[in-house]
Structure 1
Amino acid sequence: MIEPVLAVSLGVAAGIFTGLIPGVHPNTVVFTTIPFYFIYRPEFSLFMAFISGLSISHTLHDFLPALFLKAPEAESALSSLPGIEMVQEGLGRKAFVLTVIGGLSSSTIFVIVLPILFLVLEAVYPVLNQFMQFILVFFLLFIIFESRSIFNAALIAGLSGLLGLSVLSGPQQQFILLPVFSGLFAVPAVSYSIFRDFEIPEQKDRFQISSSRIKEGFAGFGSGLIAGVIPGIGAAVSTTFLTPFMDSDREGFLTGLGGVNTSDILISFLALYLIGRPRSGSSVALQMISEVRIPEVFFLIGCSLLGAGLSGILSLKVLDLFLELVDKVNFRFLGFSVLGLIFSIVFFTTGVYGIVVLLTSGFIGFISLLKECRASCMAVLIIPALTYFSGSFM
């Protein structure tokens, strides 16, 4: 029994690392560990425990670089404006704690409604499946028309979609999403952070948070439910869709946003069994190794909740450590090291072809970052999924 707990703890530690370093996505770690799994053959349950701890921990800690270093990933990009405002006012600690509260509250909501989800998702998804191509078209158009520039968003969506169609029908499919997402999101974010000067105002240690903020976790849970069930719809897209239903003030918005990624991970594990299709990098990795049945689903959910609890307990300590590191660490050197690590991992897993994909997706990612339409990059999955459900691809 102690081994799974240790595996979850190791995953939580890895998730803290991936969360704190700008641009390092948990999928980078997840897909890198798969070759080693097949070499050393640990128990599948221990691998599941590690992956669940990593995924949950990352979702709670990746707001730190978004808030304090202005280097958000796609999933935390929406937090940057209200969060950065609070950091400039010395309320950065409060902003981060709000996102953690959102993540933990959405986890609690997930546990409460789990029996209902089992009944509803299994019955409703076959109906949704019949109209999935129309649902995907709706979200694709929503992403484009919600952007500041419809032309730029459509351009990025088109380029990303062509990239997705190309790589998902080409060689090296087992690990090809690693260079795709590293290029679209990680490389631009890390490169952006390298050339920024960080001046963080003194942050207040004391602040008050109303207990009523917990209710915003419902909005975050709803957004995560959409991301966890509909293919290609990441947390950034679903959050944008549900933004009008979140509390209009910035604290309520951050709380709701904090619940999105956490519930997305939990629901993607559930969807892996109920729907039979992976909806996250973590669930893709698990499905690549072994069949996930109902005992494994409950084990995953249990480990994820344990990981959420451990991450919540550690979050304030991690926050203090992060603020100390910002003053001491040379982030330019760290950024270049992370870029070197990304290129090395991509070459190790996918070879020269993966490097070409990484550079191509990186070009698209840089444009989307400069034009402020990063959510459009999710068309890399939406358009292939759309062609799949329309019966013209794969």
Structure 2
Amino acid sequence: MEEVSLFLIFFSVLAGYLLGIISGLLPGIHTNNFALALVAFSPFLAEKGVAPFYIALIILSNAVSHTFHDIIPSVFLGAPDGDTALAVLPGHRLLLEGAGAEAVRLSALGSAGSVVASMLFVLPFSLFFGALYPYLQDYMAWVLLTIVFIMLATEKGEEVKGQEGQSSLVRYKYKAMALFLFLITGALGLFAFSRENLLIPVISFGEASALLPLLSGLFGASQLIISLLTSSEIPEKSVSKFELSRIRILRGVFTGSTAGSLVAWLPGVSSAIAALLAGLFVRSDFDRRPIEKEASEPVLGGRKSSLFYDPYADDHQTLESSKEFIVSVSGVNTSNAIFGLVALLVIGKTRSGAMAAVNEILGIGSLGFQVVLLFFAAILLTALFSYFSTVWIGNNAHSILRKLDYTKLCTGVLAGLTIMVFLFTGLFGLFIFIISTPIGMLPSFMKVRKSHAMGVILLPVILYFL
């Protein structure tokens, strides 16, 4: 590798960090959008003397920074990306308790803790999966089917005070609805991926992907529309000081980091699925205080509405569990981003758009030891910047958003998301986006977890390996 410039390294990390703030705070904008654009512009940048290594650093820093900042719109706007979908309702629950800033601070702590945990996991996991993956690949479909079975089997649907004794038949109804959601989103994924050749973008930044309209509709626009329907209102006050036991914080970091690190090796398994698996451990509370909540009137965003259902806010769920789950989800996303790089290095497989971009720019063969060390140094530096900016934005977002018209804000974001899908994927992409949006609203009406909508990726991948 050519001699590197410390100034250019710092500038690249700073550029990626700032892009991560933008993609994290703007619902519907993903790191893949910036990664795709940077790949397209890499020949032009190379002509200007910017080596591919620095472009790869920007992409990596963007991916890490994004996992810190994307919790903010999830908590304050109810507008997540696919990775933070499960954090929306617990986050809003804390927001209603006047703890929106606390939720963001806990998320930043979970992401920062997962960076440390991931560094400890790198060597053992690399050795383990480096040896196991050739054999695991032959049974990948069964591994993914097992994960789907766990998702469906643990779906309990709505269970609120006064309905503790619901029959097993009712419980099976929710499992059937979850299976229906998984299959219908899976069919949508099969339809979209088989016709990606019809995606003709207005603005081309490389090959268009069906993931953009699919995930933007299922997890972005659908949540924005529901937020508009419920006329959400941000409370007057919010505190950032958190009161969560050290053991809960450590457990949230450990479960999130472990789940995110493990699923990074598996194709088609997103951070949302890892968050679901981590949530199974978080829900085993040792402080079980009942939540007073009417069956037909769940509260969200300052207004009672039957549109929303929080699968983690049942009678056995406490505020402490919501806080720990936020820590865990953030740990999942950050460790998953880091181990996407590790998986590329060890097994030569890309598990995210960002790592696919890094691989296309540098090539797996050129990632020598010095490059790897610089990449991990960039991760640590980005995490340091991101922790403080996430906490600062979380502390100030409350007062800023109180001054804005929430309805106009959500409408503007929804319009921007629609325009972005049209520009990057064309008319067929817009068609997929329009179909995906109402399907993404189904979980709130069915009262099941939204993570089952990840069938849009899981089902096509399972059928590919079968």
User: Equivalents in 1 of 2:436, 2:43: separation in Å?
Assistant: 28
Where structure 2 has 5 or more consecutive residues not aligned to the other structure, the ranges are 1-5, 158-173, 200-206, 286-319
The match for 2:437 among 355, 358, 362 is 362
Query: Does residue 164 in structure 1 map to residue 164 in structure 2?
Result: no
1:153 matched to 2:228? The reply is no
Q: Structure 1 residues 165 and 86, CA, compared in 2 at 3 Å: closer, same or farther?
A: closer
The amino acid of 1:191's aligned partner reads: I
Q: Which residue of 2 aligns with 1:384?
A: 460
Residues 34-59 of structure 1 show CA distances to partners (whole Å, capped at 9, x for unaligned) of 43445544532222222222222221
User: How big is the shift at 1:69?
Assistant: 2.8
Conserved 8 A contact 1:214-1:255: no
Alignment-mate amino acid for residue 188 of structure 1: S
Return the offset for 1:347. Answer: 2.7
The answer to whether 1:178 aligns with 2:203 is no
- Measured against aligned partners, the alpha-carbon deviations of 1:129-154 in whole angstroms (never above 9, x if no partner) come to 12111111111222233332223222
- Deviation string, structure 1 residues 230-259 (Cα, Å, up to 9, x no partner): 111112212222323236342333322221
**C-alpha distance in structure 2 between counterparts of 1:52 and 1:327, whole Å:** 33
Is residue 373 from structure 1 mapped to residue 452 from structure 2 by the alignment?
no
Say if 1:370 and 1:272 are closer, same or farther in 2 by CA, change over 3 A.
Answer: farther
Counterpart position of 1:129: 137
Q: Which residue matches 1:218?
A: 254
Structure-to-structure mapping, 1:193-212, within 5 angstroms = 193-195=227-229, 196-208=231-243, 210-212=245-247
The answer on 1:14 being equivalent to 2:11 is no
What whole-Å deviation, never above 9, does each CA across 1:135-181 have from its counterpart, x for those lacking one?
11111222233332223222221122222223333314643322222
- For residue 272 of structure 1, what is the aligned residue in structure 2? 344
- The answer for the alignment partner of 1:232 in structure 2 is 268
Aligned with 2:269: secondary structure? coil
Within-5 A mapping of 1:1-394: 1-41=6-46, 42-147=50-155, 148=157, 149-170=174-195, 171=197, 172=199, 174-195=208-229, 196-208=231-243, 210-212=245-247, 213-246=249-282, 248=285, 249-250=320-321, 251-293=323-365, 294-295=367-368, 296-371=371-446, 372-390=448-466
Q: Which amino acid aligns with 2:111?
A: G
Give the match's secondary structure for 2:364: coil
Alpha-carbon distance in 2 for matches of 1:330, 1:7: 36
CA distance in 1, matches of 2:77, 2:389: 20
Q: What is the rounded CA distance, in whole Å, between the counterparts of 1:7 and 1:46 in structure 2?
A: 6
Over the aligned positions, Cα root-mean-square deviation in angstroms equals: 2.5
Q: Can you give the 5+ residue segments of structure 1 that lack an aligned partner in the other structure? A: none
For the Cα contact (< 8 Å) 2:112–2:387, is it kept in 1?
yes
The alpha-carbon distance between structure 1 residues 4 and 324, as it changes in their structure 2 partners (threshold 3 A), is farther
Consecutive aligned runs of 4 or more in structure 1 exceeding 6 Å deviation: none
Q: In the TM superposition, what is the alpha-carbon distance from 1:33 to its structure 2 partner?
A: 4.4
Once the two structures are TM-superposed, the CA of residue 271 in structure 1 deviates from its matched residue by: 0.8
The number of aligned residues is 390
- The one-letter amino acid paired with 2:411 is F
Question: 1:344/1:45 Cα in 2 relative to 1: closer, same or farther (>3 Å)?
Answer: farther
CA pair 287-236 structure 1, distance change in 2 beyond 3 A = same
Contact 1:110 1:221 in 2 (8 A): yes
> Distance in 2 between the 1:187 and 1:288 partners?
30
Q: CA deviation at 1:297?
A: 4.5
Q: Structure 1 pair 31/152, CA: closer, same or farther in 2 (3 Å)? A: farther
**Structure with the higher helix share, 1 or 2:** 1
TM-score by length of 1: 0.89
Q: 2:21, 2:66 within 8 Å by CA — same for their partners in 1?
A: yes
Q: Distance between the aligned counterparts of 2:37 and 2:406, measured in 1?
A: 24
How far, CA to CA, are the matches of 1:29 and 1:306 in structure 2?
20
Structure 1 residues 210 and 153: alpha-carbon distance in aligned structure 2, compared to 1, 3 A threshold: closer
Counterparts of 1:186 and 1:107 in 2: how far apart (Å)? Answer: 27
Q: In the aligned structure 2, how far is the partner of 1:205 from the partner of 1:226?
A: 31
The one-letter amino acid of 2:356's match is V
Change (3 A) 1:359 1:265: same
Alpha-carbon distance in 1 for matches of 2:192, 2:14:
34
**Distance (Å, rounded) in 1 between the aligned partners of 2:42 and 2:12:** 14
Distance in 2 between the 1:36 and 1:345 partners?
19
Deviation at 1:104, TM superposition (A): 0.8
**CA distance in 2: counterparts of 1:209 and 1:176, whole angstroms:** 41
Alpha carbons of 1:210 and 1:150: their partners in 2 closer, same or farther (altered >3 Å)? closer
Q: Is contact 2:101–2:238 with CA below 8 Å preserved after alignment?
A: yes
Range moving further from structure 2, 300-309 or 72-81: 72-81
Moved more, 123-132 or 14-23: 14-23
Identity of aligned residues (%): 26
For 1:234, the aligned partner's letter is S
Measure how far apart 1:354 and its partner are. 1.8
